[in-house]
Amino acid sequence: MKKQASVWGATKGEDGQPTDEYGFGVLVYGIAMGGDDYIARYLDRKLEEVTRHMESVTKPTAGEHTQTLWAFIYYCFTQETQYWAQNVPPRLSGPFLRKFDEILVKTTATCFGVSPDTLYGDTLAAKRLRLPTRMTGCGVRDMTDVMHAAFLGAWAPAMRALTDKIGLNGIHTPGFLHDHMQELAGPAAPIGADDDLRHLAAKGSHL
């Protein structure tokens, strides 16, 4: 598993002294895990990267190559934040996705040769912009509208591997979390051998 640790002192204050301004955490396959400040800072940096990427394509294509720009918007730009929407809890990814959506709408408006206010101001245009293509829309989804579904959609199949399973033949197969339940529950929540995730909240888990 590829990890990148956040070491205290890596960030310097104005006086040149180490600071933990952005908290602590690790990167696991491109997903920040740790304190809220650490995750927020990581997503801010990612938003800057995504913005630069979109601008580098928009500037040379806007005006003369709008079909090319639209292809980038639909096939590439709308997918830029899917990974983090699926793997970062919505309460943490929400601000990041909201800012991204503003940039995406601005880019789309540039492609159409109108202002973002025009897209937002026209009720029909705003609805058509957000509808998926199978419903004759543009397919430029509002990520803050779909972030909960995206996160749960990614979490649901993962739970099959994390939790215990009992097959049709009655055989019990331990999941990945089977041997880590006490760690997840915390010392203040002693659990029995037959307890599972459903019991953690009721027993004061810090999960």
**Interval 116-148: pLDDT, tens:** 988 888 888 888 898 988 898 889 999 999 999
pTM of the model: 0.72
Contact of 23 with 35, CB cutoff 8 Å? yes
- Number of CB atoms found within 10 A of residue 24's CB: 13
pLDDT tens per residue, range 14-38: 555 545 567 778 888 889 888 888 8
Contact of 112 with 125, CB cutoff 8 Å? no
CA distance 119 to 111: 12
Contact of 129 with 137, CB cutoff 8 Å? yes
Contact of 140 with 129, CB cutoff 8 Å? yes
What band does 43 get if pLDDT is binned at 50, 70 and 90? very high
Decide if pLDDT at 76 tops 90.
yes
Contact of 42 with 27, CB cutoff 8 Å? yes
CA distance 25 to 37: 9
Joined tokens for residue 188:
């203040």
What band does 206 get if pLDDT is binned at 50, 70 and 90? very low
- Number of CB atoms found within 10 A of residue 123's CB: 8
